Amino acid sequence: MKIYFMKDVVTKRLAKRLKRQIKAWGDDIAYNTALNLVARMFGHDHYPALQATIGLVATPCDAHVDEESQAARFRQYHQVLCEHDFSPTEADEILEELGCEGWWRFTDDDVDVLDERSDA
């Protein structure tokens, strides 16, 4: 599913936070690579594709959608992270610890429940 934004502030902040988290783990990722990864998590092929849609329409943030939509988004975010060589545990940690303005930052309980749903 594609997620859209009115401004690109959130995507840039998430990319910066992702970059910092990866550095804290002792690895490195270029900022542009982090931007592209965040764009993929939001359903776009790369950051320029997401950027081309900025301002057209806004999708409600993760904190303001129903549980079913949250679960679908979590699965999408998690899958993209795992496709980019993050372990499931690292993907969980990113989605729990990082967030911005209602995006990501799923709680431990959310992650456990959403993981259970995706296993079913």
Q: What is the pLDDT of residue 104?
A: 75
Distance of CA 56 to the CA centre of its chain: 20
Rounded-to-integer distance, Cα 3 and Cα 40, Å: 10
Averaged pLDDT, 36-40 = 97
CA angle 79–38–104, rounded 5-degree value: 75
Contact yes or no for 112/95 (Cβ under 8 A): no
Averaged pLDDT, 18-42 = 96
**Among 60, 62, 112, which residue's Cα sits nearest to residue 89?**
112
Averaged pLDDT, 14-40 = 96
Rounded-to-integer distance, Cα 92 and Cα 108, Å: 9
Task: Specify the pTM.
Answer: 0.85
Q: What is the pLDDT of residue 91?
A: 93
Q: What is the pLDDT of residue 110?
A: 53
